[in-house]
Structure 1
């Protein structure tokens, strides 16, 4: 058997954290290290290096991941200080805030019903009534969120919901749970050691890594989860970084962790994203604390002013707690798989925490790597080409969607927002879609790639939450079901009112889960 046809029998993942352990978990579940002909999966993690911990919000896909990996939802809640998340509430993104005025809209996890009856054109025609938001007219969930309620009951089985949901979680505790599960359930070998050198073979592939504590560790395939350092794919194999800071301007995050003022304080079941003069602030409610962070561009404000804005947002309690400054590389690698190495997590790319893109892309691309992982080295180049094409499309779609939030804003209180609305800072793919949608409804066929992370339903919430104008007067004849639409809007309103009486608060439900557990599926 020639070397290039050699069976891939050992995968070495360098770097832990959430990305590393998601990669290890998905690969090990697919490739079964404990089986007689399984592929060995080893994760090398530097001791005493904390995860960045920015990614504390997930989307509903994480429910499937946890279930697939054999983690019960009750176990997850007990280990991760987790709460429910039903979407993102965007505050002050549309207009400059004033003392008398503050606007908001929801990007919900319950998708609008558009397959059997699309109410969107009828909402645009004003048939839902004066002042009703798009989200409240196509889904129950915004009303549930505004009432500070949870997405399910204690009697609802694990991973099922009355409304759709993801989670807020403590990233460090989540990594610890993934570690335990990957090692004990899926047979991942865990090595704690510092990688000091990367060794290549004559073909320019990675042969091994030299660690300080465990010496040389060789493998057939390597996964780079070394964060922004990108030690393997970037520094060793020379794959360049594609900078996207000309499109997405934020480059730093200042974070702070704040305990609640009382044990019964309200925990929103959504991430709060509040626009600021040169960026935005996230506010995530976990069970024991709030995680708050100011994401901003150092080109448009100073670190001192950013910290001042963060502390003012949090209030007097902020003075008791330190902040942590996190520089961010905005962009992605030119390729994500080169020779016998693939990058995942921050080593692959990062655009900013808006819309929980970090954990979402980490999880999605780790699943993709595991699902199409080759058995032989002689097919590796084919799979690598497919992987690179698909992941590039995914990153481009994420960048377009994140930019959409800035481009549609009418804020003008800082040059940051004015520059974000310039065509030269906006991808042509996004500009073309927006031009099309001025005179016709967004359509599922506009999203022709199966590897776009954000699709039609996500765009609808943001477009019409931010008052994008679609003039459908010339198309009005296509939408004659006026009475059906009015009945639909009325039914949504009545169902939401009933649901408000059936659900408990986020905090109350999580406390019940910790005491009694959820029903197994």
Structure 2
């Protein structure tokens, strides 16, 4: 029987995994089952960026965490979109050099504006996101996605969060221990013990001695103490197609404590990477993600200095060397890798927390009752998680390969079609001749699907040739006008009913939200 699950490593990934497992095993936890998390107080949380995607709302609600308390305790702000700046063209060459990847589904029914937007030169001058959702307009107005009367985890628009990663880990750990029954042991693992057939039977710690278990979750970060160093797992390196491999993170105070907080992440492309800019309630989180093969550390610090309009030195930033790729078999024998031990690409679409969260929930649902089912369950998990990582890599690569920038070797290499995966190349070839469809996405486990691809493809002005279908979209003037009117009415509703983002956050921190 698998009765005792031991998680080695804390941080956001460890506590998400612990919480998902504890929720799955309720109400038997601490009766028939136990969940133990071992973490060292000396190891800081590793994180790049502080953004999430809307899935996190479902997770927090599932855990039973109050959204009001989460916002208050984790310095939270709302995130409705990612605004991509200078990704398509070299800066200064065009005025229309940004786009929004919003979190509301594009409005494609009862009338899909996409073919008309592609075929009509005047319509094509407008941002695609502005025609398929009101959300991009609300973002540009710096409005909150919800009202105080809206219940927790619901709002006018779909949304996610920006947060303080350290405070979020503290909230998760406190909730897991006090509400979900997870046992926490503060100790440093110095050795891993295995049986003759390669199964882990315990770990030795400096402070608490030997700790046995039936199943082990590796949340030890890029090191992969269990999955790599002990079980010799194979790492699939994606550095050949995803070139950004280093991040410089810095916390920046507001010059004006009353300045508005953008309700979206700003991602600004640079010659050899991109900069994230995230507004929390009390500060900004800024980071430069770049390729160290194309730029030196000193050059990267200079880029960040220019962006912030202040001198930034090596001692001012936290440098993170990113191991880009994923484990070929994240589940080996009685051990599964989670978080950075499992894989990482780059924080462009908040993929880190997304993969930590989703894969932990999938694993929790698959926990077998006894060891006889380990192999077949591991095979299912490994197949699905591999597909998730591959499709995520494709989606991240999409942002780069559609660019028209040629101002550096970094962009020249990123737009080289020979570097595309076969699946992404196939999709792009198809979409040059037909509109993307939900049926182009074959796997239910893929994290990014039609709606996400539409925002990026047509935000980057991807050309789908519909000349042979033009007759199918004639005489749609009234439909187009009705859509524009609907968008305008939506914008007016937002202006009348939603408050500025900073003002709303202050209200939430003072009064809280309506309970579910």
TM-score, normalisation: structure 1: 0.96
After the TM superposition, which residues 414-453 of structure 1 pair with which residues of structure 2 at under 5 Å, given as runs? Answer: 414-453=408-447
1:302 to 286, 296, 299: 296
User: Who is 1:515 aligned against?
Assistant: 510
Whole-Å separation in 2 of the counterparts to 1:420 and 1:100 = 21
Quote how far apart the aligned CAs of 1:297 are: 0.2
User: Who is 1:97 aligned against?
Assistant: 91
User: Who is 2:484 aligned against?
Assistant: 489
After the TM superposition, which residues 306-321 of structure 1 pair with which residues of structure 2 at under 5 Å, given as runs? Answer: 306-316=300-310
Quote how far apart the aligned CAs of 1:381 are: 0.9
1:178 to 172, 178, 181: 172
Assess if the C-alpha contact under 8 Å between 1:32 and 1:38 holds in 2. Answer: no
1:75 to 69, 72, 85: 69
1:512 to 1:299, Cα distance in 2 relative to 1, 3 A: same
Quote how far apart the aligned CAs of 1:79 are: 0.7
Assess if the C-alpha contact under 8 Å between 2:301 and 2:313 holds in 1. Answer: no
2:15 to 18, 21, 34: 21
Note if 1:241 corresponds to 2:235: yes
Deviations 1:293-326 (A, max 9, x none): 0000011111100011001101137579811111
Quote how far apart the aligned CAs of 1:474 are: 1.0
Note if 1:39 corresponds to 2:33: yes
1:232 to 220, 226, 231: 226
Structure 2 unaligned runs (5+)? none
1:233 aligned counterpart, secondary structure = helix
1:168 to 1:317, Cα distance in 2 relative to 1, 3 A: farther
User: Who is 2:189 aligned against?
Assistant: 195
Assess if the C-alpha contact under 8 Å between 1:34 and 1:187 holds in 2. Answer: no
Whole-Å separation in 2 of the counterparts to 1:92 and 1:465 = 12
1:125 to 110, 113, 119: 119
Quote how far apart the aligned CAs of 1:35 are: 4.3
Quote how far apart the aligned CAs of 1:334 are: 1.0
User: Who is 1:328 aligned against?
Assistant: 322
Assess if the C-alpha contact under 8 Å between 2:88 and 2:97 holds in 1. Answer: yes
User: Who is 2:257 aligned against?
Assistant: 263
Structure 1 unaligned runs (5+)? 1-6
Note if 1:156 corresponds to 2:150: yes
User: Who is 1:4 aligned against?
Assistant: none
Deviations 1:190-241 (A, max 9, x none): 0110000000012210010000000000100000000000000111000111
Whole-Å separation in 1 of the counterparts to 2:217 and 2:110 = 43
Whole-Å separation in 2 of the counterparts to 1:152 and 1:370 = 32
Whole-Å separation in 1 of the counterparts to 2:121 and 2:509 = 44
Quote how far apart the aligned CAs of 1:125 are: 2.6
Quote how far apart the aligned CAs of 1:123 are: 2.1
1:376 to 1:477, Cα distance in 2 relative to 1, 3 A: farther
Q: What is the total number of aligned residue pairs between the two structures?
A: 515
Assess if the C-alpha contact under 8 Å between 2:111 and 2:479 holds in 1. Answer: no
2:451 to 457, 461, 468: 457
Note if 1:470 corresponds to 2:475: no
Quote how far apart the aligned CAs of 1:490 are: 2.5
Quote how far apart the aligned CAs of 1:422 are: 1.1
Assess if the C-alpha contact under 8 Å between 2:29 and 2:35 holds in 1. Answer: no
2:376 aligned counterpart, secondary structure = helix
TM-score, normalisation: structure 2: 0.97
Quote how far apart the aligned CAs of 1:99 are: 8.2
Whole-Å separation in 1 of the counterparts to 2:211 and 2:3 = 14
1:288 to 279, 282, 292: 282
Whole-Å separation in 1 of the counterparts to 2:39 and 2:372 = 29
1:316 aligned counterpart, secondary structure = coil
User: Who is 1:165 aligned against?
Assistant: 159
Note if 1:396 corresponds to 2:390: yes
